[in-house]
Amino acid sequence: MEHHHAFSESSVYVTCVLLLAFAQSMLLKCFQKVSVAFLSVMEGLSIRSSAEEQIATFDQLSANWWEPTGPMVLLHRLNKLRVPLVVEGLIKVGKLDRKQRYTTDALKGLSILDVGCGGGIYAEALAKLQANVVGIDPAQHLIEVAKAHADKQPDIRDHCQYRVESLDQHWEGAVGKYDVVVLSETLEHVVDKSTLLKQVAAVLKPGGSVFISTWNKTTFAWLLAVVVLENITKHLPRGSHDYEQFIAPEETQGILEGYNCRTVECRPFYLKFWENDWVWVPFMKFTYALHAVKE
């Protein structure tokens, strides 16, 4: 009898937990929809769903891309995390000696593809460490900005190239070509993520590494990216992010595994938006960086 009573209480508890979880989920979804509606009325929020519209959005910002405190300040500041991540990741998988960690030519001789390179902020930082970098992006104005900026720097212009291309256009002529592929703040702008990551795996050499940084698919990430950064602080171009295109780390890892790329590390990071400062954090609620190796 006591056992039956305990079982009954346990069932009630589990049911209550499930109902609370369901209620929380519904409230968050309602909040998201109401917030979108409110922002649409108050600020003319427009969600850009097509690739062409997103390219146009970033093209408009090309003139100010290299201002350290301009519209792209968050990408400039992100280099302090994503560049060391590449070096440390390659040391971890035995592609670099740990003595190279702080050298000025840590990436010398490595071939790197930057997918969705924009105006070249990430690509140039990798080229400064003597990597041979190819940056591709379908936004023509941004590639022109990237080329113009690199051409002024004798130390990188010979090993930092840019092309007006998508990965879909680039990959067939580059199968097994690259030691490293980086996709920083790119995956969340792509609808067909499986095809994109399949092409990433194709252009990597066996043992090559891919480094991805993107937004997690959580309500917290949506609040930060769309509500705060796009519509309140204006740190990101309005309409440049669509929650439906955000992707959870488990899904990213699963897709990569399907193309023989094993995840080595997945590290969450966060933007202290009041300071424009990116930091590594212990909670996977907002953004994450992932390193995988092609087997």
d(CA 241, CA 234): 13
3 is in an annotated binding site: no
Per DSSP, which regions of the chain are E strands?
A: 111-115, 132-136, 160-163, 178-184, 204-215, 261-272, 277-280, 287-294
Distance CA 30, CA 51 (A): 27
List CB contacts of 50: < 8 A, sequence separation 6 or more: none
| Nearest Cα to Cα of residue 57 among 237, 266, 272, 283 | 237
Query: Rounded distance, CA 26 to CA 273, Å?
Result: 28
- 135, 141 in Cβ contact below 8 A? no
Q: Whose structure tokens read 């991805």?
A: 212
Contact, 210 vs 183, CB < 8 A? Answer: yes
What is the spatial distance between Cα 271 and Cα 25, in angstroms, rounded to a whole number?
24
Residue 267, annotated as binding a ligand: no
Instruction: Give the bridge partners for 213, in sequence order.
Output: 184, 289
| Residue 257 marked in a binding site | no
**CA quadruple 84, 142, 193, 229: dihedral positive or negative?**
positive
Is 59 part of any known ligand binding site?
no
Whether 137 has a binding-site annotation, put simply, is yes
Closest CA to 116 of 84, 162, 76, 157: 162
The span from the CA of 256 to the CA of 250, in Å, is 10
- Partners of residue 290 on adjacent β-strands: 212, 266
Give binding residues for Mg(2+) as ranges.
185, 188-189
Positions at the binding site:
82, 116, 137, 184-185, 188-189
State the binding site for S-adenosyl-L-methionine. 82, 116, 137, 184
